[in-house]
Structure 1
Amino acid sequence: MSRPLCVTHKLLTPHLVDPATELEPGRDITVGVDQVLIEDATGTMTGMQFEMLGVDEIAVPLAVMYVDHNVLQIDDKNMQDHRYLRSFCERYGVRFSPPGHGISHYIHIERFARPGALIVGADSHTTTSGALGTFATGAGGLEVAVAMAGYGFELPCPRVIGVELTGRLGYAVEPKDIILELLHRYGVRGGVGAVFEFYGDGVASLSITGRATICNMAVETGATTAVFPSDERTRAWLDAQGRADEYVAIQADPGAVYDEQIHIDLDTLEPLVAAPHSPGNVVPVGELAGTEVVQVCVGSSVNSSYEDLATVAAALRHGPVAAGVQLTVTPGSRQILDTIARSGVYQDLLDAGARMLEPICGPCVGIGQAPVKDKPSLRTFNRNFPGRSGTAEDQVYLCSPSTAAASALTGAITDPRTLLDWPSLRPAVVPNTELHDRHITPAWPLAQRHDIEVERGDNLVSPPLAAPLPADLAAEVLIVVGDDISTGDMAPDGAIAMSVWSNIAECARFMFRRLDPDFHDRAQRLGGGVIVAGHNYGQGSSREHAALAPLHLGIRAILARSYARIHRRNLIAVGIVPLLLPAEAHAEQGEDLSVPGLLDALRSGAATVTARIGGRPVPLGLQLTAGERAVLLSGSLISHIREGRRRPVHATV
């Protein structure tokens, strides 16, 4: 008799390239990929690296490119990117969602994600699709390009944390508060190497968009993804989206075993807020009640569903937004924009004084609506890393739509349960499911694609390709940074910095600018060096620019106490060695560092290698899987593929 399986293992097992592979946490597994999600900010690097692989077309059943990040078009760079991406999609068989059509994660659950699928996306919040009983995870653009070219997706098998939900959410308590509670317990590091799988009687009470909120932000714990079962809620969602035939029931078997189990009682949950400057800095809303806010932002890639916007609109029927507060509202997709327009929700928001934005990522990635410095901005977004909003001295708080609405009315952070007479939500009208097919281009037949020329403007420059690693490493310590340094500190958000993400040499000028404005010039002057960091180095976005920029500057090794999952893989993929610095060791900027025998240590499978930092012997960890060592020994993942060291795999359907 086969052992009972959790949902995560039911999703992974049929996608294993080697069916005999045991799903043991930490073990290398390679899976076939059903769907690929790409967005424009990471998409140009994904596309250019896909072209470097020399394949003729995509080798997965579906790939979709969404233009939702760099759309401000302050000069012609963004539009150069858009024209490259559209022509790339036409040439290689990728579907294309144009600027203004919506945010990738919302469109994907509306139109493409389906129960049982395995999705890899060049965006960390690809995890959103886990709401539909899907294994969906983010990765760097190069790993996504490799998967899209038909070589599968390799990852360390995650452990599975079972999260039992019981009861029902109380008045003005929302799914956002569930994921904030999870962040309160695990912080921004506790989920590394894990999948959060939800079960229990409380699951049935959560809408699909509510589940999407939870799955979207699960990555903020460092997790690989989050997964909900596919149940009657899933069936109803797919039916409303005109996709009833894609429904498949997927539940955990009775007696399914988890690597860890926790319990959240929805009956006792209260509204929560993540205070600056971390999604893990979570406290009850009551502890912050009365804190003045000058800006409230609703929407982005999380909490921009019809349900979320209707909740805010209902609260705002109490009266206008408080004087001195700027309220912005971002619908998640053109479909949601159409629905709120036809239901009356849009009018309610206008009447209350909200600034209505187009369905793009916008202020979530510092593209517009940057707040005034040192003044609280309350947002329903997923991240509040320092400077992410576009203001270096920002004070961003994260909350649910109910808390945002109540606070917009009062001008201060407010427990939404104190507003006891909210009008009921306006009922949703039937969504116009034809909008996506009308605006998202189909994949052209191969015979029509051969003569298409991919348009590459001068803002698009192929990324650097690493030379083989040296046998012995010798360099200077360029910078020493602390814990929880985000990829946004290496490749910053905002309209100006993001406009050059298609040119790594220009992008590298912004690396660590917030922390050390001289870093770029010093690295160039010295011809490279090493970076020393604390715990959770590279948290947040999947942007591989944070690995390509140091490669461009001649950096071939990082020393950190620990690494965020995606950034660690990105470093390896481009040929940078992620070394582990022991707790008792230290380094100073300007010290000499040498790692003799680094290449031999990689070849032999050694778990440590001895370095000398300022003359002091320091053992550094080499905690790498066999597959990761093979990539580093090839120089990079592209070189590894070109050498024929990974075979193409058959995608599942």
Structure 2
Amino acid sequence: MASINSFGARDTLAVGDKNYEIFKIGEVAGSARLPYSLKVLLENLLRTEDGANVTKQHIEAIGNWDPSAEPDTEIQFSPARVIMQDFTGVPCVVDLATMREAVTDLGGNPDKINPLAPAELVIDHSVISDSFGNKEAFAKNVAMEYERNGERYQFLRWGQGAFDDFKVVPPGTGIVHQVNIEHLARVTFTREVDGVTQAYPDTSVGTDSHTTMQNGLGVLGWGVGGIEAEAAMLGQPISMLIPRVVGFKLSGRIPAGVTATDVVLTITQLLRQHGVVGKFVEFYGEGVGSVPLANRATIGNMSPEFGSTAAMFPVDEVTLDYMRLTGRTDEQVALVKAYTQAQGMWHDPSVEPEFSEYLELDLSTVVSSIAGPKRPQDRIELTAAKTQFETDLKNYTEASNPAKVKDDKGREFEIDHGAVTLASITSCTNTSNPSVMLAAGVLARNAVAKGLKAKPWVKTTLAPGSKVVTDYYEKSGLNTDLEALGFYLVGYGCMTCIGNSGPLNDEISQAVNEHDLAVTAVLSGNRNFEGRINPDIKMNYLASPPLVVAYSLAGTMDFDFDTESLGEDSEGNDVFLRDIWPDPIEVQKIADASIDSDMFREKYATVFDGDEHWTSLPTPEGNTFAWDEKSTYVRKAPYFDGMELTPAPVEDITGARVLAKLGDSVTTDHISPAGSFRAETPAGQYLVENGIAVRDFNTYGSRRGNHEVMIRGTFANIRLRNQLLDNVEGGFTRDFTQEGGPQSYIYDAAQNYQAAGTPLVVLGGKEYGSGSSRDWAAKGTSLLGVKAVITESFERIHRSNLIGMGVLPLQFPVGKNADSLGLDGTETFSISGVTQLNEGVTPKTVSVKATKADGSVVEFDAVVRIDTPGEADYYRNGGILQYVLRSLV
């Protein structure tokens, strides 16, 4: 509870027969004109004012917010809860378990390491589409998931028992963000504090960048690294600057035949072009009321793709209708309405808040679109898809090189560049949206009625975000039509979107690799980065679920839906996409007839229970974990080894070598891939040496509880291009500890540099670290011995993660980069001025001196991207977890 109440904001709200303590934001001058998202931050500060972390001046700074000013006021945001998925959640629990032991070693109480904010973890990232195209696929994939991940799941079950306020949603239930919006999100949160029930806005940070899906419900929050999430669980507020807020006015209505996916790809392109990194985006205007909640969630989900911190929709009747549909109680719905109206947070389209910048979209102008072949913001109008594909193909290959294939069913066919080898309905972005999911089913039904089939070389998968989707497919009968085209249920999880697409059939994979074919994937996901979806597939396209089905029928990206037929009907007539495209009125009728709130209540009543696989797992007990030295999945983290109560002073960096020189748009997938890996890689070699067969390697993502695998997997993406080498792809560098600097695996070179006592730097371009909020991209960088990363610009989460791991993020002077400064990566680097941090001063720049082999020197001042005093504290302590640990002891 706030120990100070400078504004007399404490009040009582009566709803039904209950009273709630609330903190009235109207007591702060200037609050009425604020955007919804800043009102949420304002309430957060009022309720947590303590005179130290949160002061009267912080609260006044939001009331006096100048929309046109650049952010310069640091505040401390305390989220109501933390949400995690298993890839990022397992290392969080590993770190918490390790911290319990470290606290004991430093003379403290291990029980202090306990979530103070409720934490919920949904296991959705581990299931792989190994089996597909058959009725047994789901059961087979779940069985294989438990076989591979039993150790990790035992560990998470231990955590559920060992830590208070920590719950786990078992595998086979749904995708974290869909489970969040359909069940876990409260919209208005309640908690008993000192015997009084408080009500306040539901806010949540999550260890996955698409946590912003909840923004569609009016729940403020965003993706953070696992490192920040752990600190938030342990009661540490999140340090941030009061942001600029971009007002995005919506008008008009979505035309018939255009989907929510088309809208979100259009918004993604607009906002990426406008530039919203580090800003909040907030939707307002008359058009907001016509945007269904599922579409709002789809838009919120894509916030990381356009680069904003959050993409908010305010609360209105549409929000309440969705809460009723998804089985929330009448009492909760009434509380949300009463609370938001009492706080002036209820959406009134006639009132325009003040914003920092303004954008507008007339929804009636949106057209059918896809995005690709490697970035979500590269939108292509469907009518231009064939032409654009032919242009983009030139970046991948020269000439046609068709391959003849005979598959395991005896079918013979020919595939060439552009062949769609994977068509996947997948991902939280779209599977949470009944309009597009039912549209896919109706398109499948219409196609089957015309006698159309998916092409034999297309791997077809269906991975819904919750079991409710299966319910309404079965109730409407559309599951039969999807299955007739090969879209059988493969699992409830992220699957294709995070690289768990599973292998292509052997004969397809062999033909692709032997002929070096640039084949394609079409998925209804939010990510299509290079090397992410499948190692055999070079070009990946995001599309709505009905277009995923359409491309499975076309069988190639080299296809014009307007002029080319998908096949012939029983009378020999050509069938075009327009002949089978779903009628939106019919789709809505099916939705009305096949979806009801009882489905949600029934499916979520047992959301934490799990199936017999889960309940039969043997689970260790006790408040500290019994580590198994033989485990290749879960190992004690090394971050606190040798740690002392007082941090050592930070030092300037001298004699550093370049581990990697990288270009623009290097993603966290490039830095720390999540997918599969081969036996000859350092990670593969480690597992082989530990007696693991290649078929049991699983993925990097599933091994995140084992730092030995993850260090070896850092900068190991098969599509990484390290400019220290010419025309080489993959996790390689030059090792300057050897004469002549021969080519070497990055991990092996880093080990040699560490043995020689040589610090390392990484050089990058624009948007370094974009993509998933992957803490291992920072952890791995740190554990390889990298002391500084120098780039043109950083994506928000990765920059803060680097600081959280004690790595210094620096930027080249404005308008400069490694190439314009004449740096080729063979230089020896010294960075001075870092030691000012020991005096409590964060320098704006530090001096960088790069000495070439011939003795010539390149000098420049790099901008220090430690943006807040809190971040400076973390860096001085060697990382955020060390800071938290010391403050607890």
Please report the TM-score for the alignment, with normalisation by the length of structure 2: 0.68
1:245 aligns with 2:331: yes
1:96 aligns with 2:168: yes
Counterpart of 2:871? 628
Distance 1:184 1:461, change over 3 A: same
Q: Is the 8 A contact 2:185 2:202 kept in 1?
A: yes
1:520 aligns with 2:605: no
Q: 1:482, 1:61 → 2: CA distance?
A: 39
Q: Is the 8 A contact 2:829 2:850 kept in 1?
A: yes
- The answer to which of 70-79 and 511-520 deviates more is 70-79
Aligned partner (choices 528, 534, 546) of residue 402 of structure 1:
546
1:337 is displaced (CA, Å) by 2.3
Q: 2:96, 2:443 → 1: CA distance?
A: 47
Aligned partner (choices 454, 477, 489) of residue 670 of structure 2:
489
Counterpart of 1:588? 824
Aligned partner (choices 413, 418, 423) of residue 296 of structure 1:
423
- The answer to which of 239-248 and 620-629 deviates more is 239-248
Q: Is the 8 A contact 2:315 2:347 kept in 1?
A: no
1:322 is displaced (CA, Å) by 3.0
1:58 is displaced (CA, Å) by 4.2
Q: 2:308, 2:485 → 1: CA distance?
A: 38
Aligned partner (choices 432, 437, 450) of residue 605 of structure 2:
437
1:473 aligns with 2:653: yes
Identity of aligned residues (%): 28
Distance 1:186 1:417, change over 3 A: farther
Q: Report Cα offsets for 1:249-306 as digits up to 9, x if no partner.
A: 4435623101111001111111122111111211211111486533321122221133
Counterpart of 1:137? 222
Amino acid at match of 1:89: Q
Q: 2:446, 2:781 → 1: CA distance?
A: 52
Distance 1:55 1:175, change over 3 A: farther
Distance 1:450 1:81, change over 3 A: closer
1:219 is displaced (CA, Å) by 1.1
Counterpart of 1:385? 529
Structure 2 unaligned segments of length 5 or more: list them: 1-28, 49-53, 66-70, 101-109, 129-143, 188-200, 338-344, 390-417, 513-517, 563-575, 611-619, 676-697, 721-730, 733-744, 852-856
Q: Report Cα offsets for 1:189-214 as digits up to 9, x if no partner.
A: 92211111111222222222211111
Aligned partner (choices 273, 280, 299) of residue 377 of structure 2:
280
Counterpart of 1:308? 436
Counterpart of 2:487? 354
Counterpart of 1:555? 786
Q: Report Cα offsets for 1:353-406 as digits up to 9, x if no partner.
A: 313221111111111345665212111110111001131652101122233233
The secondary structure found in structure 2 opposite 1:138 is coil
Aligned partner (choices 537, 542, 558) of residue 773 of structure 2:
542
1:462 aligns with 2:636: yes
Distance 1:75 1:531, change over 3 A: farther
The secondary structure found in structure 1 opposite 2:221 is strand
1:611 is displaced (CA, Å) by 1.1
Counterpart of 1:651? none
1:349 is displaced (CA, Å) by 1.3
Q: Is the 8 A contact 2:174 2:467 kept in 1?
A: yes
Counterpart of 2:861? 619
The secondary structure found in structure 2 opposite 1:251 is coil
Q: 2:44, 2:650 → 1: CA distance?
A: 37
Amino acid at match of 1:40: D
Distance 1:348 1:304, change over 3 A: same
State how many pairs are aligned.
640
Distance 1:312 1:420, change over 3 A: closer
The secondary structure found in structure 1 opposite 2:248 is strand
Amino acid at match of 2:651: A
Counterpart of 1:192? 277
Aligned partner (choices 607, 622, 637) of residue 844 of structure 2:
607
The secondary structure found in structure 2 opposite 1:230 is coil
1:79 aligns with 2:150: yes
Q: 1:616, 1:246 → 2: CA distance?
A: 62
Q: 1:245, 1:223 → 2: CA distance?
A: 33
Q: Is the 8 A contact 1:80 1:456 kept in 2?
A: no
Distance 1:597 1:109, change over 3 A: same
Aligned partner (choices 521, 526, 529) of residue 760 of structure 2:
529
1:315 is displaced (CA, Å) by 0.8
Aligned partner (choices 578, 581, 597) of residue 418 of structure 1:
578
Q: 1:454, 1:585 → 2: CA distance?
A: 50
Counterpart of 2:74? 28
Q: 2:837, 2:274 → 1: CA distance?
A: 28
Q: 1:188, 1:267 → 2: CA distance?
A: 20
Distance 1:13 1:58, change over 3 A: farther
Q: Report Cα offsets for 1:18-43 as digits up to 9, x if no partner.
A: 26312453532212221210111001
The secondary structure found in structure 2 opposite 1:102 is coil
Counterpart of 1:264? 361
Counterpart of 2:886? 643
1:48 aligns with 2:94: yes
Counterpart of 1:150? 235
1:594 is displaced (CA, Å) by 0.4
The secondary structure found in structure 2 opposite 1:162 is strand
Counterpart of 1:498? 701
Q: 1:456, 1:271 → 2: CA distance?
A: 52
Distance 1:140 1:164, change over 3 A: same
The secondary structure found in structure 1 opposite 2:289 is helix
Q: 1:462, 1:451 → 2: CA distance?
A: 16
Distance 1:189 1:617, change over 3 A: farther
Q: 1:307, 1:61 → 2: CA distance?
A: 35
Counterpart of 1:445? none
Amino acid at match of 2:863: G
The secondary structure found in structure 2 opposite 1:439 is coil
Amino acid at match of 1:199: Y
Q: Is the 8 A contact 1:274 1:399 kept in 2?
A: yes
Counterpart of 2:263? 178
Computed over aligned residues only, the root mean square deviation of the Cα atoms, in angstroms, reads 2.6
Q: Is the 8 A contact 2:257 2:582 kept in 1?
A: no
The secondary structure found in structure 1 opposite 2:606 is helix
Distance 1:246 1:230, change over 3 A: same
1:597 aligns with 2:833: yes
Counterpart of 1:67? 123
Larger RCO (CA under 8 A, 6+ residues apart): 1
1:10 aligns with 2:39: yes
Amino acid at match of 1:251: W
1:576 aligns with 2:807: yes
Amino acid at match of 2:792: R
Q: 1:417, 1:131 → 2: CA distance?
A: 31
Q: 2:147, 2:490 → 1: CA distance?
A: 22
1:59 is displaced (CA, Å) by 4.3
Counterpart of 1:446? none
Q: Report Cα offsets for 1:571-608 as digits up to 9, x if no partner.
A: 00111010112214353223100012322257422211
- The answer to which of 141-150 and 594-603 deviates more is 594-603
Distance 1:532 1:92, change over 3 A: same
Q: 1:279, 1:190 → 2: CA distance?
A: 15
Q: Report Cα offsets for 1:550-589 as digits up to 9, x if no partner.
A: 2111111111111111000100011101011221435322
Q: Is the 8 A contact 1:114 1:132 kept in 2?
A: no
Q: Report Cα offsets for 1:113-149 as digits up to 9, x if no partner.
A: 1323110101111111111111021101111111111
Aligned partner (choices 173, 177, 180) of residue 108 of structure 1:
180
Please report the TM-score for the alignment, with normalisation by the length of structure 1: 0.92
Distance 1:432 1:222, change over 3 A: closer
Q: Is the 8 A contact 2:437 2:546 kept in 1?
A: no
Distance 1:460 1:341, change over 3 A: same
1:640 is displaced (CA, Å) by 1.6
